[in-house]
A and B are shown apart, each in its own frame.
Chain A
Amino acid sequence: DQQVKQNSPSLSVQEGRISILNCDYTNSMFDYFLWYKKYPAEGPTFLISISSIKDKNEDGRFTVFLNKSAKHLSLHIVPSQPGDSAVYFCAASVDNAGNMLTFGGGTRLMVKP
């Protein structure tokens, strides 16, 4: 089941620069998208989300962009900090509250000091 894909298993970025994490999906019914951050031995932590009625949502250093026609979303982190080093998962769901999330495989971000 590859409905949500993160094609880059890892990404290395210098501190202070921009990190761009990408995610593609195939199910056109998805209309709500989320990014989670995960440290080892912890559960996923919610970061930011976007509804399909928007193409951008910003929260501090984190911005998510959605391109519905391309079925693509991205997470921008700027400036990147060493504490941002973690695995980032994108997830998607149909409709709203209470529905299952479908996760991508994750991208390991390493921010070097």
Chain B
Amino acid sequence: EPEVTQTPSHQVTQMGQEVILRCVPISNHLYFYWYRQILGQKVEFLVSFYNNEISEKSEIFDDQFSVERPDGSNFTLKIRSTKLEDSAMYFCASSRQGVAYNEQFFGPGTRLTVL
């Protein structure tokens, strides 16, 4: 069964450093998303991406964040200058186009630890 994959599974970085989190969505999916979950808190939406552009973003997704689909398979989230409060699990998700219902399929997550 096709699944969303994410690398790395765990990323440790120093405050102020740039990190890139990588995702390979399900191959026939055309909508892509990033969510995060800070320890003990809810899963929060960051950004959605369709047709090579951001379609929606939350207040969390400020100028320090960017997303890119550099080739036909990868979808990346970049944090330019990490802060301590960026420490969280980051989940990538994808969904199909043309379906009536918004079933999003999630990857296993990347645990980001900012020291």
* A98 and B31 contact, CB distance less than 8 A: yes
Number of interface residues of B (CB under 8 A): 32
Expressed in whole angstroms, the minimum distance between the Cβ of B55 and any Cβ of chain A is 6
Neighbour of B43 across the interface among A46, A51, A95, A103, CB < 8 A: A103
Of A12-20, A21-29, A37-45, A75-83, which stretch is located at the interface?
A37-45
Which residue of B4, B58, B95, B107 contacts A97 across the interface (Cβ within 8 Å)? B95
Binding site for A on B (CB under 8 A): 4, 6, 31, 33, 35, 41-45, 48, 50, 55-56, 58, 91, 93, 95-109
* Sample of 23 A–B contacts (CB below 8 Å): A32-B102, A41-B108, A44-B43, A46-B103, A46-B106, A51-B100, A51-B101, A93-B102, A96-B101, A97-B95, A97-B99, A98-B50, A98-B55, A98-B95, A99-B56, A100-B45, A101-B45, A101-B104, A102-B45, A103-B42, A103-B43, A105-B41, A106-B42
